[in-house]
Amino acid sequence: MSLAIRDGTPDDAELLAPAFAALGYPAEPATVRARLTAMLTDDRTARLLVAEVAGGVVGFATLHETPMPHRPTPVGRITAIAVLDSARGTGAGRALVETAEEHFRSRGIARVEVTSGENHAAAHAFYRHIGYADNGLRFSKALT
């Protein structure tokens, strides 16, 4: 098995659509492309990582930096991460997170956060297993 992490582009949309569905956010490739194009064009602090096993895309992570007035450095955020069910246990998720941490560290960022929906218990166990701690609550409100 050859696992590789690379930078992704909107051109990866068709390959990434199944991973978006695995995350619980199904979308047509054209929609994924449009969202990635907006994210990577409008936000210079955003990055898309793609995980490949044996040349096939098996997962992704999106990264963002968020300046915080109460912290000395921006916070690095893994804003989305997903690995296909068929690739769980291959090390793809761990490699995505480690690459994200290396990226943030290289930019002088001192803290990384990842959020996960309440229904993703396996993801919560994974994050705890690789050293992440529960820290606070996240609240949201739909504005539509």
Q: 118-142 pLDDT, tens per residue?
A: 888 888 888 899 999 988 878 888 8
Q: Measured between alpha carbons, how far is residue 117 from residues 10, 79, 89 in Å?
A: 25, 12, 21
* Chain centroid offset of residue 122 CA: 16
Q: Is 34 exposed, middle or buried (0-12, 13-18, 19+ CB in 10 A)?
A: middle
pLDDT at 98: 97
Model pLDDT for residues 15-34, shown as the tens digit of each residue: 999 989 988 889 999 999 99
DSSP letter (8 states) at residue 4? E
User: What CATH number labels 3-129?
Assistant: 3.40.630.30
pLDDT at 103: 96
Mean pLDDT of 65-94: 91
> In this model, does residue 61 exceed pLDDT 90?
yes
Number of H helices, E strands in the chain: 4, 5
Is residue 35 a contact partner of residue 62, using CB atoms and an 8 Å limit? Answer: no
What per-residue confidence (pLDDT) applies to 42? 67
